[in-house]
Structure 1
Amino acid sequence: MCGIAGWVNFTDNIEENQQIILHMTDTLKERGPDAEGHYFSPHVLFGHRRLIVVDAEGGKQPMHKTVNGKHYVLIYNGELYNTEDLRRELIACGFSFDAYSDTEVLLAAYIRWGADCLQKLNGIFAFAVWDEMAQTVFLARDPLGVKPLFYAWRGNSLIFGSEIKTLFAHPAIQPVVDRDGLTELFALGPATAPGSGVFKGIHEVPPAYFLKVTPDTSLLREYWKPTAEENHETEAEAVEHLRSLFTDAVERQLVGDVPLCTFLSGGLDSSGITAVAARAFASHGKTLETYSIDYTDNDKYFKASLFQPTPDQVWAEKMSKFSKTHHHTYIERHAALADALENAVVARDLPGMADIDSSLYLFCGEIRKNYVIALSGECADELFGGYPWYMHDDMIYADTFPWSRFVGDRCAILSPALQTLDIEGCVRHQYLDTLRQVPHLENESRRDFRMRELFYLNIKWFMVNLLNRKDRMSMSNSLEVRVPFADYRLVQYAFNLPSALKFAGGREKGLLRLAMSDILPKEIVERKKSPYPKTHNPVYTDIVCQRMDAILKDPNAPLLELIDRKKVREIVDTRGTAYKSPWFGQLMTGPQLLAYLLQVNFWLKQYNIQLEL
């Protein structure tokens, strides 16, 4: 994996501003610690930082290629999982290759097919291509949004990069947040609206979009989305089909010239990935390494709930024993978890999922001591129905985002100056706008119609936020984390599974359980979904309450301008119990809300944000 940066201006000669692109590229050194490269021309400046995973010599970037007298330059962040399939097809078209990197294959694919190459790629990516003869810069992002790509227009300049901080390294871009950004922060956060960078004038290329820029035009276009298709498979046929797609997705993602491991929580999703990977390793006489995370004294304080029915660690150990992996458990300290809330903000450039982010940040840092690639189980719950909001009618038919059902509670903690923000209107607009995009089949039952809406909402919102979290926390530690369930073929297939198949046996992820039944122990196949990871130790609550108390007593704390101090004081004094509804998802209740506000305060200070109220 890597980081990319660019500056395009077809009106002015910007070649003499090389120091700016150097500065922008330097912000990406954690994403790419192994190598750095640049391209300078009168109207296009590119920068690249590289984390070497495949073909150290043959994958250097920016990559240049001249075909029929036409010169192209590519910068690319990602991994293609069908590289060899594409290479064979391109060789048949007359292309030749100097090395075995996917970078060279991607550039050749763009030269051969242009924007249509996106229909052929199976992978995770964000890239930019400069076509010198056509005077065109082409930017694209993978179908599910695993890899990030931000941009901003300033006058005649298009400025882009893998992270928001990369844009701030350009002198034309300042960290300004206006009322629209604040509305989004408190209405949708830690999620962001598709295409939004929250900061004023900063945008994100949405998942499955490309941006094509010429001296006269700028075109932002969607190139892929799940489509509605009939599925008449029997249960046995669906089990076999799903198992085949899943196994292929995992096996394709085991490629690399550097050490690889898997995340293993002991849940269905990570266990399935681990089982396939361990089998592939064993076929080559190797032992797979697996990692899980836990917290100090977590077992002493665990209490079962609807969202967290069982603890995790014992299951990770059982699965490791079953698959004969070499397992490691990383125990996090709660003070470190709280301290890393700030690291997580810098990684995201935005407030995020509080300790759910910071725990992953620390976990990835530990894994990176020994590994460069890891596989993780994100996206299965969104695709196959693993959350309570797929199983309980009051959540299924909630006329809003099911992971953010208590918008009124959010409004209650805002300061009088922000009470005029249209928090509920923002949520309503984004929700209805997404529903308008959902593809349907004719004559769907009321429940199937709603289920298709729920799955689309999860793919476009909840899943994207979790993928953002995974990318930022891992890449800020120079660790490449791959997500087999985000294979667009699996997404398309899962989107069209009838509810009766998807929830086979009346269980959440019923069909996925059946597909895993021949590779996993029965007790793990039957285990109920459990969010991971989460601390149950009250010491963490004590820490965040103490830190929020300090902010409430600090007259210079920037957060105080945004919150109702009395309401937040009540949450602190009751150790989070005065805010009972999840702020977001399943886990962000009172203590996590306080941690989120700690992140907001740090974000305002660290980025020296100018508020336009």
Structure 2
Amino acid sequence: MCGIAGATRNLLGSDPHQTLHWMNDAMLHRGPDMGEIHLDEAIGLCHRRLSIIDLSEDGRQPMSSSDGRFAIVFNGEIYNFPALRKELEKKGHLFRSRTDTEVLLALYQEEGTIGLQKIRGMYAYAIWDKEKKELFAARDRIGKKPLYFFHDGDRFAFASEIKSLLAIPSIKPKFDPTALVDYLKYLFIPHPKSIYSNIHKLAPGHFLLFKNGRVHIEEYWDVDFSETSNASEEELTEELLTIIEEAVQCRLLSDVPLGAFLSGGIDSSGVVALMNRLQPDPVITCTIGFKDKSYNEAEEAKTFAFSLGARHHEYYVEDEPAQVIKKLVWHFDEPFADSSMVPTYYVSQMARKNVTVALSGDGGDENFAGYGKYAIDQFENRVRQHVPSPLLRLLASFSGSMLSGSRVGKKLHSLSSSALLSPAQGFYVTNTFISDSQLQTLLAPELLAQVRDYDPAGHILGYYNRAHGPDHLAAILYTDLKLLLPGDFLVKVDRMSMANSLEVRSPLLDQKVIEFAARIPSRFKLHGREKKYILKNALRGVLPSQVLQRKKHGFESPINKWFRHELRSMAETYLLYNEAMASFFNIHAIKQLWEQHQTGKQDHGTLLWTLFVFALWQEQWIAGGAVHV
């Protein structure tokens, strides 16, 4: 796990060595063990190393081929690199190290871009071909590892984090007002956009070629829901466990201490239980808890860990958010409002005291329909199919006026209104966090005029309509795998783990698990109202019944409470008495939200958190003069 960056020589200024070191220093947290640069007449590369495999000097990057033609910088882990190495050795390749980096370099020399199809792992890497004057860069299939790039004619740069690009003095980032709309709707900014109009994200499952001033981007992998398996439930269940167990097994390869995140839920508990089966030593487990019992799974996690004989560690988040939030916002480089960044940061910090690598349960919900929203959206779609539109319009009107003050009325209005939309549009409305009317009320008039013709629904609608699944559930699972997972959850885990120089591996997001899960019929994922039905069945011989039957909590933060207590003073200053925010928002509208929240009339925790994070980001980057608005 590392940090990578590079830029064409014409971006690096009069002292290219110094600029490369600035870029590298900006990512020190991603790789504290080594930091090196490579510079030739056309390009500069830099790398921060967190040593995991082959801790010797032989693993130093940037790494060059023996003939000096190719140079690579690599972030991630290739889990099948021992098998690939043997294959390449048979073709005459000689290796100086035990690293997966050198295997990637040899594979590219041997097969070019086609070699991507053979790689199994999490990765973002770039290879410079000195002879062709061509740069190749690729990002893993599901987007575990980040890759940003800047392109301006014949000038090009890339990096694991935006802050590394901003370390180049000649790059002048430009604020993108449509990205702010995306952020308010989704709580993150979907690829390929960033908050800057001239800095982009390479999409998961894509590679990039830069040559002669031109960028060519191509997709090399997509998850396919169109081929539904005809196997029996028993056969699918048995095969699923085998695939997951093997995905865990290959992620245990490490030359440094290894442990796991444990939330107490099915996904992380299943991973930990399988680790316990597959390794001789007790599993090292790490859990975060809250004093608020409605958000706390720490006790359940501890009980399960002790039942396995694990070496368990736990940490309770109390009043720390005000102390740490500025630091967390800095690590994301752009507005990012998933409040579970806080517990993710702390569990990563605690884990790093004991291990360098941690396995997680990420991906179980997206692959096997684990979120409550899937059952709700499935029900909405049945209503859409079977209830006539005139009746739905009548229900929407009646519930919106006569019953608007009641909880039942609000739910009925939401259901009937959503059912009047197309399946894709309905999924968009129920999976975004601010309505169009709220957006128009909140945005400052000048900014609203700039985005009036922009439709942020295109992100969800594009993926939903592209899905080739047999039913609605398949389409929304595909959409979340392509949009929500890489845009939100994997960004959160990458930044918060890397902030603590910790590598996180996710067996349930293994390529083989994702591809197999896509072939499982939807009825075995959402079985009536039971979520993750087949995953639970697959883990019945692995997990105790109390874990399998436990109600899902989710890795959330008590933000409604925080804004009334721990964060109240700090947030009030940033939201209500901050002149800079008036350039973007209607402060009067924010004050109304704030007062409603403080008096308990309504809970606006998510929206207030979204605005609060933006205010902190604005202070760090725009007020600091790094960004042009």
Query: Is TM more than 0.5 here?
Result: yes
What are the superposed Cα offsets for residues 88-114 of structure 1, whole Å, 9 maximum, x if unpaired? Answer: 211222212222111111111111111
User: What is residue 466 of structure 2 aligned with on the other side?
Assistant: 437
For residue 386 of structure 1, the aligned residue among 367, 370, 376 is: 370
Structure 1 residues 105 and 571: CA distance shift in structure 2, 3 A: same
Structure 1 residues 93 and 278: CA distance shift in structure 2, 3 A: same
Deviates more, 1:343-352 or 1:423-432: 423-432
Please list, as runs of the form range in 1=range in 2, the aligned pairs for 1:314-353 lying within 5 A after superposition.
314-334=299-319, 336-353=320-337
2-structure distance, mates of 1:549, 1:488: 45
1:517 correspondence with 2:540: yes
1-structure distance, mates of 2:115, 2:601: 49
Letter in 1 for 2:428: T
Is the 1:183–1:421 Cα contact (8 Å) retained in structure 2? no
Is the 2:223–2:514 Cα contact (8 Å) retained in structure 1? yes
User: What is residue 194 of structure 2 aligned with on the other side?
Assistant: 197
Provide the TM-score with structure 2 as the length reference.
0.87
User: What is residue 294 of structure 1 aligned with on the other side?
Assistant: 289
What are the superposed Cα offsets for residues 250-296 of structure 1, whole Å, 9 maximum, x if unpaired? Answer: 11111111111111111000000100112222xx2x1111111012x
Is the 1:145–1:206 Cα contact (8 Å) retained in structure 2? yes
Structure 1 residues 537 and 412: CA distance shift in structure 2, 3 A: closer
User: What is residue 65 of structure 1 aligned with on the other side?
Assistant: 65
What are the superposed Cα offsets for residues 346-385 of structure 1, whole Å, 9 maximum, x if unpaired? Answer: 1110222353112222321222122211111111101100
Report how far residue 421 of structure 1 moved. Answer: 5.2
Letter in 2 for 1:193: P
User: What is residue 157 of structure 2 aligned with on the other side?
Assistant: 159
Please list, as runs of the form range in 1=range in 2, the aligned pairs for 1:454-603 lying within 5 A after superposition.
454-464=476-486, 465-504=488-527, 506-535=529-558, 538=561, 541-554=564-577, 556-575=578-597, 590-603=604-617
Is the 1:577–1:590 Cα contact (8 Å) retained in structure 2? no
Report how far residue 496 of structure 1 moved. Answer: 2.2
2-structure distance, mates of 1:218, 1:538: 47
Is the 2:150–2:157 Cα contact (8 Å) retained in structure 1? yes
2-structure distance, mates of 1:168, 1:507: 47
What are the superposed Cα offsets for residues 480-512 of structure 1, whole Å, 9 maximum, x if unpaired? Answer: 111111111111111221112223465100000
1-structure distance, mates of 2:482, 2:311: 36
User: What is residue 232 of structure 2 aligned with on the other side?
Assistant: 234
Q: Could you say what secondary structure the match of 1:30 adopts?
A: helix
1-structure distance, mates of 2:372, 2:196: 33
Is the 2:622–2:628 Cα contact (8 Å) retained in structure 1? no
Aligned residues: 579
Structure 1 residues 414 and 358: CA distance shift in structure 2, 3 A: same
2-structure distance, mates of 1:130, 1:558: 42
What are the superposed Cα offsets for residues 385-414 of structure 1, whole Å, 9 maximum, x if unpaired? Answer: 011121124555424164216423344332
Is the 2:139–2:147 Cα contact (8 Å) retained in structure 1? yes
Report how far residue 12 of structure 1 moved. Answer: 9.1
What are the superposed Cα offsets for residues 399-434 of structure 1, whole Å, 9 maximum, x if unpaired? Answer: 416421642334433233333354795222222222
Task: Could you tell me which runs of 5 or more consecutive residues in structure 1 were left unpaired when the two chains were aligned.
Answer: 303-307, 581-588
1-structure distance, mates of 2:29, 2:536: 37
Letter in 2 for 1:298: D
2-structure distance, mates of 1:325, 1:469: 26
Is the 1:548–1:572 Cα contact (8 Å) retained in structure 2? no
Report how far residue 83 of structure 1 moved. Answer: 1.2
2-structure distance, mates of 1:91, 1:454: 43
Letter in 2 for 1:8: T
Please list, as runs of the form range in 1=range in 2, the aligned pairs for 1:37-436 lying within 5 A after superposition.
37-57=36-56, 58-66=58-66, 71-188=69-186, 190-215=187-212, 217-227=214-224, 228-281=226-279, 284=280, 286-295=281-290, 297-299=291-293, 302=294, 311-334=296-319, 336-392=320-376, 393=378, 397=423, 398-400=426-428, 402-404=430-432, 406-408=434-436, 409-420=438-449, 422=451, 425-436=454-465
Root-mean-square deviation (CA, aligned residues, Å) is 2.3
Deviates more, 1:418-427 or 1:118-127: 418-427
Q: Could you say what secondary structure the match of 2:191 adopts?
A: coil
Is the 2:245–2:274 Cα contact (8 Å) retained in structure 1? yes
User: What is residue 584 of structure 1 aligned with on the other side?
Assistant: none
More helix by share: 2
1-structure distance, mates of 2:502, 2:216: 33
1-structure distance, mates of 2:535, 2:475: 20
Is the 2:184–2:610 Cα contact (8 Å) retained in structure 1? no
Is the 1:435–1:457 Cα contact (8 Å) retained in structure 2? yes
Please list, as runs of the form range in 1=range in 2, the aligned pairs for 1:2-13 lying within 5 A after superposition.
2-9=2-9
Is the 1:74–1:130 Cα contact (8 Å) retained in structure 2? yes
1-structure distance, mates of 2:165, 2:275: 38
User: What is residue 404 of structure 2 aligned with on the other side?
Assistant: none
Q: Could you say what secondary structure the match of 1:469 adopts?
A: helix
What are the superposed Cα offsets for residues 575-603 of structure 1, whole Å, 9 maximum, x if unpaired? Answer: 367795xxxxxxxx622322222211111
Provide the TM-score with structure 1 as the length reference.
0.89
Report how far residue 70 of structure 1 moved. Answer: 6.5
User: What is residue 386 of structure 2 aligned with on the other side?
Assistant: none
Q: Could you say what secondary structure the match of 1:518 adopts?
A: coil
Report how far residue 238 of structure 1 moved. Answer: 0.6
User: What is residue 583 of structure 1 aligned with on the other side?
Assistant: none
Q: Could you say what secondary structure the match of 1:49 adopts?
A: strand
What are the superposed Cα offsets for residues 304-357 of structure 1, whole Å, 9 maximum, x if unpaired? Answer: xxxx7xx412220221122221111101122x1233221121111022235311
User: What is residue 417 of structure 2 aligned with on the other side?
Assistant: none
Q: Could you say what secondary structure the match of 1:455 adopts?
A: helix
